[in-house]
Structure 1
Amino acid sequence: MNLKQLAESLNLSQTTVSRALNGYPEVREETRARVLAAAQAANYQPNSRARRLATGRAMTIGHVIPLTGKAEMVNPIFADFLAGAGEVYAREGYDLLLSIVSDGEAERAYRQMAANGSVDGVMVQSPQTNDARIGLLQELGLPFLVHGRTQEPDGFSWLDVANLSAFRKATNFLLDLGHKRIALINGQENLDFAARRRAGFCEAIWARGLAPNPDWMHSDVMTEGYGYSAATEMLAGDVCPTAFLVSSVIPAVGVRRAVADRGLVLGRDVSLITHDDVLSYLNNDADGPAFTATRSSIRAAGRRCAEILINLINTPDQPVIQELWEPELTVGRSTGPAPVDTA
């Protein structure tokens, strides 16, 4: 069924049907509901070229991904976010423009998108504590949503995980188990999420009258190899941690390997809590959670971020939208009381 046939079946003009399908505000709500119901019943999919002509929009969302040499954005976590966002883009008739640029070229890419009208909005990911992209996109007038936030998060729309309170809660859980020698294996701390996780970790330790050990706080790109090497180094010391707090399941797998290499048992000799993005390919729930974790689905975040961004595109004059998701702490097999001789 094409647009003409759908319009004839409803005894409406093609223009009215097109405007109803594309969210124009001047269409009466009862008419819009009638058109949407008929389109769904007929399995009608608008022609993307016709939709662009009807709306005057590109019907495209931009993602600009800078590569800094460490490729921190090209990872499985980003892939799951993109899969979630892509579900919504496809449902709403939007295409995805993924622009991979060298370090320092992001500004040029955003300016080009704004100048040629190739996108209707932009998704910003992995914000730094102070991120120049925010001011640039505000200057360009491009609708955008930030997955995450900055240290000054007012004045723009974002969705973020409550990283500080999540890692404070996780650290308190370990402290309540009697652990006093706790290590942090974090992401790159120029990124806002990692800076907040470090702050939550330190706050919890200071509140118990203890002090974080700077030699047991590591920060880098979150790979399995990084988790393995950092944990191996710390476990080789004369005095070593009895527990690890890790910023992703990916380096947590490396920590687990390092613990096993020393003949130790995770959950008995050494405890571990990680942040779990509920990755589709790395299931922490098989046969019960392997890791005690703060959990928040990155794929669900991708879906919700896409919904918010499209909402901002459709209604550009609305107030900023800001959502903070509190992760759930789930207890798995990787935590237990501090060993008696080290507590």
Structure 2
Amino acid sequence: MNLKELSHILGLSQTTVSRALNGYPEVKEATRKKVLAAAQAHNYSPNTRAKSLATGRSNAIGHVIPMATSHEMVNPIFGDFISGAGEVYSKNNYEMVLSIVEDGREEDVYRALKTRGTVDGVILHGPKMNDTRIALLDEIGLPFVVHGRASGIDLPYSWLDVNNRSAFHRASDFLMDLGHRRIALLNGLETMDFAHRRRRGYEDALAARSIPTDPALMRSEEMTETYGYTATCKMLALPCPPTAFLVSSFISALGVRRAIEEHGLQMGRDISIVTHDDSLSYLTNGADVPIFTATRSSVREAGRSLSKMLLDQIDDPTLAPQHQLLEVELTVGRSTGPAPVAAQTA
């Protein structure tokens, strides 16, 4: 069925029906409901291109992803984030435009998206501490929201973030309450804002207990399983090795566990591990009892919330920037236990 046929059934002009379907305010509420009910009853779907021409919108949201494998955003949690965002896009008749670009070409892509009208807005992923993309998007007038924050940017912008500093402070306190004093930090790349905040939380917690930080117990790299394994092997070879590991990624924590077991040690008895696990839907942290003690947040829910925030901004450009800070829950699993007596004595 096309617009002309639907208009004939309703006894209304095509213009009125089109405006009702597209939410124009001058259409009476009763008329709008009548048109929407008829459209649903007759399985009418407006032509996307025609609708875009009528409204000046593309009904699409952009996600620009750099190719570099070292970029902290290119990891398995992206799938869960997109699943959450995709639910919101689908309910609101939006499509997703995913652009994979070479490093250094992101600015060109954002400008092209704006110039061509390809998308109505974008979600910016993996913000660095001084992220130049925020100023660029503000300059070209492309609506955007940020998954995370950029500490070095003063411009007002909308963001959703996990309270990374509080999460790692809390995790460090938990380990110290168990008697651990040699706590290793396996962090993400600290050019990324979230990793910077996690280090701050860890350092603040140690300082509050008058425990000095030891550079030999801190690493900052791409969050892979191999990174967790290699860093742990090196630290276990130290004259005074750590008794606990605080890890920025569930995937890296799997590498830590592999290294511990290869050294003939038992996780939770000889070495404790606390990780940030993001509640991944396809890489679960155990069943009834969690494998790892973890600071948990749902990245799928973050995708839902952030996409709603962006659609609100697109619908009402006068909205003030919105901010949402998500607190984590600390879930105790089988990976933690009291520090070995010898370590506590030392």
Q: Please give the TM-score of this superposition, normalised by the length of structure 1.
A: 0.93
Report which stretch shifted further, 39-48 or 234-243.
Answer: 39-48
Q: State the 1:213 CA deviation.
A: 1.2
Contact 1:161 1:324 in 2 (8 A): yes
- Residue-by-residue CA offset, 1:271-315 (whole Å, 9 max, x unaligned): 111111111220114232111111111111111111111111111
- Counterpart in the other structure of 2:60: 60
Contact 1:23 1:314 in 2 (8 A): no
Please state whether the residue corresponding to 1:202 is helix, strand or coil: helix
- Counterpart in the other structure of 1:141: 141
CA distance in 1, matches of 2:41, 2:284: 37
CA distance in 2, matches of 1:28, 1:153: 43
Please state whether the residue corresponding to 2:303 is helix, strand or coil: helix
Q: Which amino acid aligns with 1:310?
A: L
**Is 1:290 matched up with 2:291?**
yes
CA distance in 2, matches of 1:292, 1:28: 56
Q: Which amino acid aligns with 1:230?
A: A
Q: State the 1:199 CA deviation.
A: 0.4
- Residue-by-residue CA offset, 1:199-237 (whole Å, 9 max, x unaligned): 001101101111121111111111111111111111122
Task: Return closer, same or farther for 1:55/1:211 CA change in 2, 3 Å cut-off.
Answer: same
Please state whether the residue corresponding to 1:244 is helix, strand or coil: strand
Q: State the 1:40 CA deviation.
A: 5.4
- Counterpart in the other structure of 2:246: 245
Contact 2:72 2:126 in 1 (8 A): no
CA distance in 1, matches of 2:209, 2:135: 39
Contact 1:67 1:73 in 2 (8 A): no
Please state whether the residue corresponding to 2:325 is helix, strand or coil: strand
User: What value does the CA root-mean-square deviation take over the aligned residues?
Assistant: 2.1
Task: Return closer, same or farther for 1:4/1:129 CA change in 2, 3 Å cut-off.
Answer: same
Please state whether the residue corresponding to 1:166 is helix, strand or coil: helix
Report which stretch shifted further, 153-162 or 68-77.
Answer: 68-77
Q: State the 1:21 CA deviation.
A: 3.8
- Residue-by-residue CA offset, 1:52-85 (whole Å, 9 max, x unaligned): 1231211111111123352543321112212221
**Is 1:262 matched up with 2:263?**
yes
Report which stretch shifted further, 97-106 or 64-73.
Answer: 64-73
CA distance in 2, matches of 1:212, 1:66: 34
Equivalent residue runs for 1:144-223 within 5 Å: 144-151=144-151, 152=153, 155-223=156-224
Contact 1:181 1:242 in 2 (8 A): yes
Please state whether the residue corresponding to 1:341 is helix, strand or coil: helix
Contact 1:127 1:150 in 2 (8 A): yes
Please state whether the residue corresponding to 2:342 is helix, strand or coil: coil
- Counterpart in the other structure of 2:331: 330
Q: Which amino acid aligns with 1:70?
A: S
Contact 2:72 2:188 in 1 (8 A): no
Q: State the 1:8 CA deviation.
A: 5.8
Equivalent residue runs for 1:8-23 within 5 Å: 13-23=13-23
CA distance in 2, matches of 1:31, 1:244: 62
Task: Return closer, same or farther for 1:55/1:216 CA change in 2, 3 Å cut-off.
Answer: same
Task: Return closer, same or farther for 1:173/1:28 CA change in 2, 3 Å cut-off.
Answer: farther
- Counterpart in the other structure of 2:273: 272
Contact 1:48 1:93 in 2 (8 A): no
Task: Return closer, same or farther for 1:314/1:23 CA change in 2, 3 Å cut-off.
Answer: farther
Q: State the 1:142 CA deviation.
A: 0.4
CA distance in 1, matches of 2:104, 2:4: 48
Contact 1:269 1:338 in 2 (8 A): yes
Task: Return closer, same or farther for 1:97/1:265 CA change in 2, 3 Å cut-off.
Answer: same
**Is 1:127 matched up with 2:142?**
no
Structure 1: state its 5+ residue gaps.
Answer: none
CA distance in 2, matches of 1:71, 1:86: 22
Q: Which amino acid aligns with 2:142?
A: L
Task: Return closer, same or farther for 1:277/1:40 CA change in 2, 3 Å cut-off.
Answer: farther
Task: Return closer, same or farther for 1:225/1:24 CA change in 2, 3 Å cut-off.
Answer: farther
Please state whether the residue corresponding to 2:305 is helix, strand or coil: helix
Report which stretch shifted further, 27-36 or 157-166.
Answer: 27-36
CA distance in 2, matches of 1:47, 1:319: 33
* Identity percentage of aligned residues: 59
Q: Please give the TM-score of this superposition, normalised by the length of structure 2.
A: 0.92
- Counterpart in the other structure of 2:309: 308
Q: State the 1:34 CA deviation.
A: 5.7
Q: Which amino acid aligns with 1:217?
A: M
CA distance in 1, matches of 2:292, 2:38: 48
Report which stretch shifted further, 74-83 or 45-54.
Answer: 45-54
Task: Return closer, same or farther for 1:132/1:29 CA change in 2, 3 Å cut-off.
Answer: farther
CA distance in 2, matches of 1:66, 1:266: 36
Task: Return closer, same or farther for 1:260/1:138 CA change in 2, 3 Å cut-off.
Answer: same
CA distance in 1, matches of 2:34, 2:333: 49
Q: State the 1:338 CA deviation.
A: 0.9
Task: Return closer, same or farther for 1:226/1:27 CA change in 2, 3 Å cut-off.
Answer: farther
- Counterpart in the other structure of 1:231: 232
Structure 2: state its 5+ residue gaps.
Answer: none
- Counterpart in the other structure of 1:46: 46
